[in-house]
Each structure stands twice: as structure tokens, then as C-alpha cells.
Structure 1
């Protein structure tokens, strides 16, 4: 909301660059051109955000589950008192 109380305002120009899907294989070359032109890349978004998020959650999940085999998951940090292990699978009782 502009009430006129701050007469000194700084406007910063930003440029959005989007690499089209058919040029993703040349993304490194495109980034080189961007850097040589004097621009700075402030943020990247992954090519496939769902896969990236799934991998990030597996690495950074607060309870750090350990994927062992298929549907088998071992929880190495937090054990519920009502759970016991049956051949590496967590079974609730």
C-alpha cells in the first residue's frame, strides 16, 4: 500500500528465463550464454519437480526412513512403542 510516506523507492529489474522442453538437453550451453551476458542465476527449478521432491524428501525426511527393498522400509531413528519388527518390516500391534 502506497501512502506516500516513503518518497525514495528502489525498483529492481529482473529477467525470467525459461528453457523450453525441446532445448533442455542444451541447458548447460544456454546457462553459459546467460552468464557471459552478465546475468546471474538466482533460482533453478528442476526438470521434473515431482521426482526431485521425492528424492529430496527421502534424503531430508525428519524421521529418516531407510528404504531397504521394494515396499520394505526401516525406520532407523523413531520406533513406536507398539511396533515390532518381522523380517525388517515394521508391523503395528
Structure 2
């Protein structure tokens, strides 16, 4: 049996890879390994990003920073949705 990729599956695969790259870029920005990414620009490492040993990435304190970032985003989204419902 031959199973080929359709254009739709190929497109989904590209989108999935792009999403993974964007999530990784955000995660390493949150822990100060890169400067804030700019569209169409190169990724620039910070001093910490250049000097830190990446074999243990993410360390527990980095996971905490990342979780804190997403918790704040989630809380802001919930407040925004609550305000919309009240209007």
C-alpha cells in the first residue's frame, strides 16, 4: 500500500514546524537567551544565551519563568474575556 502526502498534509506539516519554531523562540526569549525577535531579522543571542550551558536547558528556574509568563498571559486573556461578556 502506498501512502503519499497530499498538498494539504504537506502544508499542515510546514505550519506545524513553523509553530514549533515560534514557540521555541518565545521560550528562549522568556529566559533571556535571545533579544526580542523582530520579523524578518536575525535572532540575536544575549550574553546569557552565549555563555550558558544548554545541556541542562530548561532548568527548573527557567521552567518557572516560562510557566509564570504563560500564567500572566492566561490571566490577562481571562480578564479581557470577562470584560467582553459584561459589555
TM-score by length of 2: 0.33
**If each structure's helix is expressed as a fraction of its own residues, which one has the higher value?**
2
- Larger RCO (alpha carbons 8 Å, 6+ apart): 2
The structure where strand makes up a greater share of residues is 1
**Which of the pair has more CA radius of gyration?**
1
